[in-house]
Amino acid sequence: MTRTFGDDLKQRLQDPEFAKMFGAAQAKSSFALTLAEARARLGLTQKELASKVGVSQAYISKLEGGEANPTLDRIGSLLAMIELSLTTDTVKLSPYPETSLWEIYWPSDAWLMSPPVEFIQFTTDAPQKKEVLTL
């Protein structure tokens, strides 16, 4: 029987220490993607968003990259400056989001072997260095 990434991750999530680290990383990445998506919908660059909310572009980059560890106060005040608020929900900790694009576009682990045809590119707005991440 072939084991999948999802099977391995489910097994590792049984370890409380691993589950804590996974949960923290998942929360950071979820906020990072949410912030990047909100900024894009508003048509703002990282620099413009940073100026609007009173932080540096580097901090916005770290938030969107999941590298920063903002407090809930910081998240709330940052979002309020762009007329948004944070809503929360809880779902069972699992390797894949329960209801998401994962289930719609990749209903099985088959996507691990054959990525989607379209690629998404993220770029930083830092003038001295341009990074591109292709998913």
Domain ranges of the chain: 5-134
Band of the pLDDT at 61, cuts 50, 70, 90?
A: very high
Q: How far apart are CA 92 and CA 121, in angstroms?
A: 29
Structure tokens at 93: 């900790």
Looking at the chain, which runs of residues are DSSP E strands?
121-123, 132-134
Residue 120 has pLDDT above 50, yes or no: no
> What's the number of CA atoms in the CB half-sphere (13 Å) around residue 45?
11
What's the pLDDT score for residue 67? 93
Is the pLDDT at 130 greater than 50, yes or no? no
Which two structure tokens, joined as six digits, stand for 39?
């900024």
Residue 129, pLDDT score: 47
98: DSSP letter: S
Overall pTM surpassing 0.75 (yes/no)? no
Topology of domain 5-134 in CATH is 434 Repressor (Amino-terminal Domain) (1.10.260)
